[in-house]
Amino acid sequence: MGLLTDGPSRCHKGGGLQGKRLGILTGGGDSPGLNAAIRGATLTAIRKYGMEVVGFVDGFNGLFGGPREGEPGWVTLTEDYVQGILTQGGTVLGTANRGNPFQMIVRDERGFPVRDEAGQVVTRDRSAEAVRTMRELNLAGLLCIGGDGTLGMARAFFEQHKVPVVGVPKTIDFDLAATEATFGFKTAVQVACDALDRLRTTADSHDRVLVLEVMGRYAGWIALHAGVAGGAHAILLPERPYDAEAVWRRVNDRFRKHRKFSLVVISEGAKPIGGEHAVAETREHPAGLPVLGGAGERLRRELEAFSKREAEATRARGEWPDEAPEVRVVVLGHVQRGGTPLAEDRIIASACGSFAVDMAARGEFGAMSAWRHGGPAAVPLAAALESHFVDVDRDPLVAAARAMGVCMGDPCDPEDED
């Protein structure tokens, strides 16, 4: 299937795929396990099918040339090239989350974005140029390792240009559907949980409320799993706007009951009832999502405003106000993306990367190598790109958290706990 291959083949090494080329790219934010997926795919392609493997530099940007003018945008991946990368964080190929071949920014001779009369950045569709590059390399298949953005572009290449693509699910956000795991998620959760373990001791020592802001964009999976694992007293998710007063009552009641510290986990995409997402930066690219940030700091101001309001009301009655807890914020940020992946993420990445090559050999394009029932399986890209968010009314982990007295941002009855 597709313009870049002679058709599906079921031959193994020495058969119809011998000498053919497989392309691999990694797109979007980096994620623990990317190198494991590259290694798994490369070794399978070479050892099982006798294929040549090329890796595109910096995601889809590599289809338009290297980072320096005149350099190729791809490297040859050999067995030696991928030795020793299994445990490494990041990606040896590099990645980018601003390179959409269907909406490439038009730049002037100085490199600045060109703008139209309304001041909007001008883009143009250069996907046909990317397809020509893949044709020149005679690719029998292209493995796109990434999250919803990368796989959305892969799907567009498949549907609009018949490019033989196979997706591999990489995202710490766990916001892809049709798969029971996305490698990088478990490592990100562990990093957040480790942070909560450390914050607990300092919060307890100083009688503070410590707010931990974690990644996840508009999906609350990291916050939910890390919050439960780390014993948070409040967990705020993007999927349900939170009542700041409910959070304040929770931490204030703990403080008054002589358990003076509290841990609050907030996802970067969480927002108060009637409020908007906290945005740290807007990107020039029309297709670029805003950089979320500041949700934790906003919550700190909200909690302190309630404490101030209560103190003023108490003084107005001629009484001396009770002491209020001090609130501090920790933004975990890109620490969640870097470093050595957990064993489970390495396993998922290796297996899904290897299976993606098997899918390409069978001609199963326009699909993703998902993790289902303890192993890799093929699912349509369209199914993988469906929404996958926390259902705060039905998710069993949310129910367990509520049962243990964790405030989820809706009106809750604070209970005495650890």
Q: Give the pLDDT mean for 268-288.
A: 83
Evaluate if residue 13 carries a pLDDT over 50. no
Residue 281 β-bridge partners:
291
Characterize the bridge pairing of strands 74-77 and 291-292: unpaired
Residue 181 confidence (pLDDT): 96
For every residue of 306-375, DSSP letters joined together read HHHHHHHHHHHTT-PPPP--EEEEEE-GGGGTSSPPPHHHHHHHHHHHHHHHHHHHHT--SEEEEEETTE
Evaluate if residue 186 carries a pLDDT over 80. yes
Evaluate if residue 10 carries a pLDDT over 60. no
Q: Which residue, 378, 411, 375, is CA-closest to 178?
A: 378
Distance set, CA 321 to CA 257, 307, 314, 317 (Å): 16, 10, 6, 10
Averaged confidence pLDDT in the chain = 90
Higher pLDDT, 19 or 116: 116
Residue partners of 361: CB distance under 8 A and separation at least 6: 8, 9, 10, 11, 12, 17, 49
Which tokens sit at 28? 């979007």
Report d(CA 355, CA 131) in Å as an integer.
24
284: pLDDT confidence band, cut at 50, 70 and 90?
Answer: low
Is 173 one of the catalytic residues? yes
Residue 12 confidence (pLDDT): 41
Evaluate if residue 411 carries a pLDDT over 70. yes
Share of the chain above pLDDT 70, in %: 92
Higher pLDDT, 286 or 291: 291
For residue 298, give the H/E element and its range: helix 295-316
What are 125-149's pLDDT values in tens digits? 999 999 999 999 999 999 999 999 9
- Local structure of residue 112 (DSSP, 8 states): P
Residue 307 confidence (pLDDT): 85
Q: Give the pLDDT mean for 351-379.
A: 97
Residue 289 confidence (pLDDT): 72
Evaluate if residue 8 carries a pLDDT over 50. no
Please identify which residue in the block is written with the tokens 């080329």: 21
Residue 238 confidence (pLDDT): 97
Q: Give the pLDDT mean for 150-163.
A: 96
Q: Give the pLDDT mean for 80-108.
A: 90
Count of other CB atoms within 10 angstroms of residue 73? 21
**CA 329 to centroid of chain Cα atoms:** 22
Evaluate if residue 166 carries a pLDDT over 90. yes
Evaluate if residue 15 carries a pLDDT over 50. no
113: pLDDT confidence band, cut at 50, 70 and 90?
Answer: confident
122: pLDDT confidence band, cut at 50, 70 and 90?
Answer: confident
3-state secondary structure 210-241: EEEEECCCCCCHHHHHHHHHCCCCEEECCCCC
Q: Give the pLDDT mean for 93-115.
A: 86
Q: Give the pLDDT mean for 304-321.
A: 84
310: pLDDT confidence band, cut at 50, 70 and 90?
Answer: confident
Q: Which residue, 1, 353, 371, 381, is CA-closest to 153?
A: 381
Choose the catalytic residue: 173, 175, 243, 358: 173
Residue 14 confidence (pLDDT): 37
Report d(CA 181, CA 375) in Å as an integer.
10
**What pTM value is reported for the model?**
0.91
